[in-house]
A = this chain, B = another copy of it.
């Protein structure tokens, strides 16, 4: 997420009670996790195992729990608990606020768009032209919707990421500061859930169609003209190409990539990245032809057992 304006190192360090290391007037433009960080961003690292990755990333400033010289052209903020420090910055820029009305004053709604009764629209939501938002849909703050989008009843867009850090006293929540972007011509079925990004955006690409009861995790980016059948679940930080088809009740684990034109058959469980242009089946998912063969092989085990028994008798 980008800040509303640049802030200088000294000021950001003061928000979190950290110690700036480097030029006090160094400008910070936004905040992101390590895997989506961009130049100008601040990120954090709290384990020596990841120090090198963080310091060599695109981040301009790193919150870190060891004092050291910053890499060339970068700055650091020393803090004993970088996760807490990072979270408190995200929270400062998060635009959730208790609402008194069903449709926030800051929402922008395009011409020809129908908003049915019972819809909740949070702060800073933008909806394009000629959309239909059916009854009892919930759009949290900072959800951006294109033109000609249809969202069916009960669907919830922009709830928090399911993202926690386990500590001795239980799970600590990573605050979600990202957005959800729904591009033009998307249709989303009833009672779906599409979480906002933690620091980046969750994106549903142009022309993609989702059936009912589908889960899309935080920071997941789905391409154009995909088709997902009912009860599909996609975890967080997944990247899905264009023209991908996921049949009913497919599950996709976090951090994976699925290539353009892949087809995943019903109830499959995707536990590793998939090349595009192929058809997959099974839990864990394999190429469907291979999996289908395995299903036949299993039915031939009795022959093998019979043979073994016979040999033992001979």
By a beta-carbon cutoff of 8 Å, the part of chain A in contact with chain B is 98-102, 114, 116-118, 120, 122, 134-136, 138, 140, 150, 152-156, 159-160, 162, 164, 170-171, 173, 185, 187, 189-193, 195, 206-207, 209, 211-213, 215, 217, 224-225, 227, 229-231, 233, 235, 248-249, 251, 253, 266-267, 269, 271, 283-284, 294-295, 297-305, 307-308, 311
Residues of B within 8 A of A156 (CB): 136, 152-154, 190-191, 212
User: Can you name 19 A-B residue pairings with CB atoms under 8 Å?
Assistant: A99-B135, A118-B118, A118-B136, A134-B140, A152-B156, A159-B190, A170-B185, A170-B224, A170-B225, A190-B193, A191-B213, A231-B231, A231-B251, A233-B249, A249-B249, A249-B251, A297-B298, A304-B305, A304-B308
- A150 to B96: give the CA distance in the assembly, Å: 13
Of the candidates A136, A227, A284, the one having the most CB atoms from chain B within 10 angstroms of its own CB is A136
10 nearest A-B residue pairs (beta carbon) = A120-B135, A138-B153, A297-B301, A193-B212, A156-B190, A170-B207, A162-B211, A215-B230, A190-B193, A152-B159
How many copies of the polypeptide does the oligomer hold? 3
- Cβ–Cβ contact A102 & B118, under 8 A: yes
The secondary structure that dominates the A interface is loop
Of the candidates A102, A267, A303, the one having the most CB atoms from chain B within 10 angstroms of its own CB is A267
Residues of B within 8 A of A122 (CB): 135
- Cβ–Cβ contact B162 & A229, under 8 A: yes
Residues of B within 8 A of A209 (CB): 162, 164, 171
- A227 to B139: give the CA distance in the assembly, Å: 25
- Cβ–Cβ contact B154 & A173, under 8 A: no
How close is A293's CB to chain B, nearest CB, in angstroms?
A: 8
- A229 to B218: give the CA distance in the assembly, Å: 13
A213 and B230 in contact, given A117-B102, A138-B134, A305-B300 (Cβ under 8 angstroms): no
Q: Which residue of B lies closest to A298 (CB)?
A: B294
- Cβ–Cβ contact B212 & A171, under 8 A: no
- Cβ–Cβ contact B114 & A98, under 8 A: yes
How close is A105's CB to chain B, nearest CB, in angstroms?
A: 13
A266 and B251 in contact, given A152-B156, A191-B156, A207-B170 (Cβ under 8 angstroms): yes
- Cβ–Cβ contact A154 & B191, under 8 A: yes
A251 and B251 in contact, given A162-B212, A298-B301 (Cβ under 8 angstroms): no
A233 and B207 in contact, given A185-B170, A187-B173, A251-B249 (Cβ under 8 angstroms): no
- Cβ–Cβ contact B138 & A230, under 8 A: no
Residues of B within 8 A of A297 (CB): 298, 301-302, 305
Residues of B within 8 A of A299 (CB): 294
A171 and B251 in contact, given A159-B134, A164-B209 (Cβ under 8 angstroms): no
- Cβ–Cβ contact B269 & A269, under 8 A: no
Residues of B within 8 A of A271 (CB): 266
A215 and B215 in contact, given A153-B138, A159-B152, A249-B251 (Cβ under 8 angstroms): no
Contact of A233 (CB < 8 Å), options: B114, B224, B230, B284: B230
